[in-house]
Amino acid sequence: MFRYYLGLGLYSLRRNPALTALMIVLIGAGVASSMITFAALRAITADPLPAKSAQLFVPQIDNFGPVNGTPDGEPPLMLSYIDTMALLRAHRAEREAALYPVRFSLVPAEVTHAPFTVQGYAVTGDTFAMFGVPFLYGSDWSKKDDTEGSNALVISRRLNEKIFDGVNSIGRTVRLDDHDYRVVGVANDWNPQPRFYANADIHDVSEVGEAPDFFLPFARAVNQQMTSRWGNFCPADDYSKDSDWPAMLQSECVWISFWVQLPTAAVVQRYREFLDGYAAEQQRVGRFHWAPNNRLHNLLPWLDYVHAVPEETHVSFLLALGLQLVCLVNTIGLLLAKFMRRRGEIGVRRALGASRRAIYAQFLTEAGMIGVVGGALGLPLTIFGVSSMGSFFEPRVARLVHVDVSLLGLTLLTAIVATVIAALYPTWRAAQVQPAWQLKAN
Amino acid sequence: MSIRPIFAALRKHKLAAGLLALEIAVACAILCNAVFLIRDRLAQMQVNTGIAENELVWFSADGTSGDAATPIVERNLAALKGLAEVKAVAVVKSLPLSNNDMNFNATMDAAGKVSTPNMQMLIGTSGYLQTLGLKLVAGHDFSADDYAGIDAWQPQSSSMMVTRALADRLWPGKSALGQGFYVDKKRYQVIGVVDHLVRGELRGIASEYVALCAARPSENLSSLYVLRVDPAARDRLVREGSDMLIRLNPDMLISQQGTYGELRSSYFASDRALAWLLGVICVALLVVTALGIAGLASFWVAQRRRQIGIRRAMGATRGDILRYFQIENFLIVSFGIALGMLLAYVLNVTLMKFYELPILPLYYLPIGAVVLWLLGQLAVLGPALRAAAVPPVVATRSV
């Protein structure tokens, strides 16, 4: 029977080629517009670390106070060195990561090569296990390297290919600025997007893109007085300490991203209490002149909190959905007109014994055919739109967006489902046709 | 011609007409908001930075460290100045719209009780006002003595300039000259007022809150070279300038370089992208709406061929038939617009949740209405003409 309906549908669609083409274009354009913007939204709101995100939290401690802080009373996004060290010493979380970005010029061993800039992070030892950084060669550095701040270095696969032609480079030396580092590990591709761990600068264009070139021990970077690429954020009283390193370490300037791994809700609650206790203690000893004002965000809420998703992405998705809605309403109108014009035909079929169900099946099949062809038109439109997204979306979003099978499948599915939904009412009307009345009228 | 029969006919097609009106309503809501967003973005992109934009070329390097920084940077500046068609050169702390600025809060009194709004501090080397092309509206330029050292990040010289916007904010109704504020107990005094200068990033009304100070090149002021050049020679000087810097300083890393136009254009990349995207959506929407109207109208015309024939046979002119379809379309579109105005506000409020956006100005609604009326009339014209061409003889034939 289905094949018969396909035949009937094909015949009917061919009888009005212009109208059929119009509906196909509407479906195709509508579904493509929403799929293109959906691809952007999906890319940018994807969980950067699906396996771990549920357990990763950012503690924030208000060490600025109501006078120096932001008008909305939110604590700084990063921690001061004092608080970082206190939290690391207390060690109340399963794992803790303190990190900040640094930049060097890398001087290649061959004198013929010009030095080039490399960007990476100074991190504490837990970071690798906590963020699930995979290793191609070697591993992370030892506990001793971590506490003493040795010259151990983990480099990215890309950097390893660039300076060591991709061979196992464990034990080799890399010269960064004026110091030699020994490679202890080569990280395999690890580049979660957006860079959630870049607390200060998730919006920054420079924080999206290639994987970090290297990681070095946090203690090393501090001992060597390496400044953060983000700069420091200091309350007004501490402006003068900004460029005096020892004074800066003792100041309230914030510059360190701090992350903790908390496996269960109970542990999260305990950590919250610990933070409040810590802040209350700081208030008691006179460092804070205000009540504890802490935050502990989980990774995904954190991305919301720092507005990691450019608002453009939401707005364009919403408006594209509107466009698809218009296309659908349009399709409903056209289908209604088309189906109602065939009252006579319906009347004859019903009089010859076709049930209402059969009418439903026939007309929904016809609509489904339009949906399939419309979706097929939507596919190249979607592919074209996504690949030319660089000119529509800003580069940082465009770089993340790609076409994959699931997107194409969704395009086709949306087109068919949307068309069938659009056809429901016209089909219902068609099924209501009274055969006797139609036969008499003709 | 009376509207009543048209209403009567429309009542027979309640649903199809209703759907068309709904479609117009959604289109109206989206169009108004999208155009509003586009204009909001375009307005931001028109911002006057206050500098001689089309004459500037810049190089952002890793900076020079140590005490030798002053002579090295001065030598670099002299060499850059020597290039053909270079009018002036300087090293500055940041450029407008470079997404990079040094922000601070000062206090209006020595005791530190009354604080200022957040401001940007721009520091530059000798002659940087001319290099950037800033316009003084009061006071005088820095003297040679003002180009002194920098402690931490604070210039030693106490002379500073402010933008007019900042002067109006800090000392409303008074002359800013001779006024001052304190940073960490040190007083800075205003010696001049600059017409316009935008910060490293736009911040609404605070976009031009900039204090300008002077300093000689040093470790803390050695990485951003700016050249004011003949506009025709910009691209050449980007190449020649970086070649010159690398030749003089083989270890120097120039991370970014270009004309100021490129910098400005990359600052607005996301705004431009959004404007384009919304523009495409608007055009698609107009086309889809027009196609929908034309499609449905054609269908109705085909459906009513017999009635049209009868009307024509009974004396209706071609003009009557044409006007019938035009008025019918006008009525449907009008219903749609009425509903669309409501929807436009609902969408506006929804968008405001995501977006820092003012409320939709009322005058968008009549403009949107006119556009949709015109679109409707244009779309219905083809089918209506075809209807008008139906000969009266059709009435005598059976369907």
Written as one letter, the residue type at A379 is L
Give the separation between CA B211 and CA B103, rounded to whole angstroms: 10
Mean pLDDT of chain A: 85
Q: Which two tokens stand for residue B73?
A: 């940077």
Confidence at residue B398, expressed as pLDDT on a 0 to 100 scale: 60
- For residue B303, the chain A residue with the least C-alpha distance is A341
DSSP class of residue B144 equals G
Q: In Å, what is the CA distance from A112 to each residue of A115, B62, B340?
A: 9, 21, 68
List, as one string, the DSSP characters of A327-384. HHHHHHHHHHHHHHTTHHHHHHHHHTT--HHHHHHHHHHHHHHHHHHHHHHHHHHHHH
Confidence at residue A218, expressed as pLDDT on a 0 to 100 scale: 94
Residue environment code for A47-57, b if the CB has 16+ CB neighbours within 10 A, otherwise e? ebbeebbebbb
- For residue B34, the chain A residue with the least C-alpha distance is A319
Confidence at residue B342, expressed as pLDDT on a 0 to 100 scale: 92
Give the separation between CA B251 and CA A103, rounded to whole angstroms: 15
Q: Name which residue leads in pLDDT, B141 or A48.
A: B141
Residue of B23, B277, B300 lying closest to A393 (CB–CB): B277
Q: Name which residue leads in pLDDT, A207 or A280.
A: A280
Q: Which of residues 251-270 of B touch A (CB under 8 A)?
A: 251, 253, 255, 269-270
Q: Which residues contact A440 (CB under 8 A, 6 or more apart)?
A: none
Which chain B residues contact residue A204 at CB under 8 A? 99
Q: Which two tokens stand for residue B204?
A: 């609404």
Any A CB within 8 A of B111 CB: no
Q: Name which residue leads in pLDDT, B346 or B299.
A: B346
Q: Which two tokens stand for residue A57?
A: 């939290």
Which of A198-212, A363-377, A391-405, B258-272: highest mean pLDDT? A363-377
Q: Is the pLDDT of residue A239 over 80?
A: no
| Contact criterion met (CB < 8 Å) for A330 and B288 | yes
Which chain A residues contact residue B183 at CB under 8 A? 239
- For residue A204, the chain B residue with the least C-alpha distance is B99
- For residue B265, the chain A residue with the least C-alpha distance is A394
Mean pLDDT of chain B: 89
Q: Is the pLDDT of residue B60 over 60?
A: yes
Q: Which of residues 179-198 of B touch A (CB under 8 A)?
A: 183-184
Give the separation between CA B395 and CA A171, rounded to whole angstroms: 96
Written as one letter, the residue type at A437 is W
- For residue A396, the chain B residue with the least C-alpha distance is B270
Give the separation between CA A302 and CA A312, rounded to whole angstroms: 19
β-strands A95-106, A254-261 pairing: antiparallel
Residue of B26, B62, B354 lying closest to A322 (CB–CB): B26
Q: Name which residue leads in pLDDT, A404 or B75.
A: B75
Ramachandran assignment for B112, one of left (phi > 0), alpha (psi -120 to 50 degrees), beta (any other) = left
Helix H or strand E segment including A258: strand A254-261
Q: Which two tokens stand for residue A261?
A: 């791994």
| Contact criterion met (CB < 8 Å) for B354 and A315 | yes
List, as one string, the DSSP characters of B186-203. EEEEEEEEES----SS--
Confidence at residue A396, expressed as pLDDT on a 0 to 100 scale: 61
- Distance, in angstroms, between A419 CA and closest chain B CA? 15
Confidence at residue A436, expressed as pLDDT on a 0 to 100 scale: 77
- Distance, in angstroms, between A327 CA and closest chain B CA? 7
Q: What angle do CA B328, B333, B338 make, to 5 degrees?
A: 130
Any A CB within 8 A of B154 CB: yes
Any A CB within 8 A of B176 CB: no
Q: What is the mean pLDDT of residues A379-393?
A: 80
Whether omega before A194 lies within 30 degrees of 0, making that bond cis, reads: yes
Q: Which of residues 23-42 of B touch A (CB under 8 A)?
A: 23, 26-27, 29-30, 33-34, 37
Residue environment code for A68-86, b if the CB has 16+ CB neighbours within 10 A, otherwise e? bbeeeeebbbbbbbbbbee
Confidence at residue B44, expressed as pLDDT on a 0 to 100 scale: 85
pLDDT in tens, B286-333: 998 998 888 888 888 888 888 899 999 988 899 999 999 999 999 999
Q: Is the pLDDT of residue A325 over 70?
A: yes
Q: What is the mean pLDDT of residues A14-28?
A: 87
Q: Name which residue leads in pLDDT, B124 or A439.
A: B124
| Contact criterion met (CB < 8 Å) for A22 and B291 | yes
pLDDT in tens, A97-108: 999 988 888 888
Q: What is the mean pLDDT of residues B330-341?
A: 93
User: What band does A206 get if pLDDT is binned at 50, 70 and 90?
Assistant: very low
Nearest 10 degrees: Cα torsion A250, A62, A274, A263: -100
Q: Which two tokens stand for residue A337?
A: 């007109």
Give the separation between CA B18 and CA B23, rounded to whole angstroms: 9
Which chain B residues contact residue A316 at CB under 8 A? 274, 277-278, 281
pLDDT in tens, A422-431: 999 999 988 8
Give the SS3 label for residue A111: coil
Q: What percent of chain B has pLDDT over 90?
A: 53
Q: What is the mean pLDDT of residues B355-378?
A: 88
Contact between B56 and B227 under an 8 Å Cβ cutoff? The reply is: yes
Confidence at residue A393, expressed as pLDDT on a 0 to 100 scale: 60
Confidence at residue B234, expressed as pLDDT on a 0 to 100 scale: 93
Q: Is the pLDDT of residue B136 over 50?
A: yes
Q: Is the pLDDT of residue A205 over 50?
A: no
Contact between A317 and A40 under an 8 Å Cβ cutoff? The reply is: yes
Write the ipTM: 0.74
| Contact criterion met (CB < 8 Å) for B284 and A329 | no
Q: What is the mean pLDDT of residues B279-286?
A: 89
Which chain B residues contact residue A208 at CB under 8 A? none
Residue of A19, A33, A243 lying closest to B295 (CB–CB): A19
Confidence at residue A9, expressed as pLDDT on a 0 to 100 scale: 83
Confidence at residue B299, expressed as pLDDT on a 0 to 100 scale: 81
Q: Which two tokens stand for residue A378?
A: 């939507």
| Contact criterion met (CB < 8 Å) for A116 and B253 | yes
Mutate to test the interface with B, among A227, A315, A393 (most CBs of B within 10 A): A315
Q: What is the mean pLDDT of residues A299-320?
A: 81
User: What band does B151 get if pLDDT is binned at 50, 70 and 90?
Assistant: confident
Give the separation between CA A117 and CA B99, rounded to whole angstroms: 20
Q: Name which residue leads in pLDDT, B286 or B6.
A: B286
Q: In Å, what is the CA distance from B88 to each residue of B62, B128, B228, B230?
A: 22, 8, 5, 10
Residue of A239, A392, A425 lying closest to B183 (CB–CB): A239
Cβ-Cβ contacts under 8 Å between A and B: the total is 144
Contact between B210 and B116 under an 8 Å Cβ cutoff? The reply is: no
Any A CB within 8 A of B60 CB: no
Q: Is the pLDDT of residue A84 over 90?
A: yes
Backbone angles phi, psi at B243, to 5 degrees: -60, -45
**Pick from B120, B50, B41: which is nearest to A312 by CA?**
B41
Q: What is the mean pLDDT of residues A195-203?
A: 71
| Contact criterion met (CB < 8 Å) for A204 and B27 | no
Helix residue ranges, H only, B46-112: 69-81
Helix H or strand E segment including A259: strand A254-261
| Contact criterion met (CB < 8 Å) for A116 and B184 | no
| Contact criterion met (CB < 8 Å) for B288 and A323 | yes
User: What band does B373 get if pLDDT is binned at 50, 70 and 90?
Assistant: very high
Residue of A236, A312, A338 lying closest to B274 (CB–CB): A312
User: What band does A112 get if pLDDT is binned at 50, 70 and 90?
Assistant: low
Residue given tokens 């029977």 in the structure block: A1
Q: Name which residue leads in pLDDT, B373 or A107.
A: B373
List, as one string, the DSSP characters of A369-435. HHHHHHHHHHHHHHHHHHHTGGGTS-HHHHTT----HHHHHHHHHHHHHHHHHHHHHHHHHHHT--H
User: What band does A390 get if pLDDT is binned at 50, 70 and 90?
Assistant: low
β-strands A214-217, A152-156 pairing: antiparallel
pLDDT in tens, A144-182: 888 888 999 999 998 998 888 889 999 999 988 888 999
Q: Is the pLDDT of residue B7 over 90?
A: no
List, as one string, the DSSP characters of A292-316. --EEEEEHHHHHHHTT-S-HHHHHH
Q: What is the mean pLDDT of residues A135-145?
A: 89
Q: Is the pLDDT of residue A207 over 50?
A: no
Q: Would you say the C-alpha torsion B211, B217, B218, B222 has a positive or negative sign?
A: positive
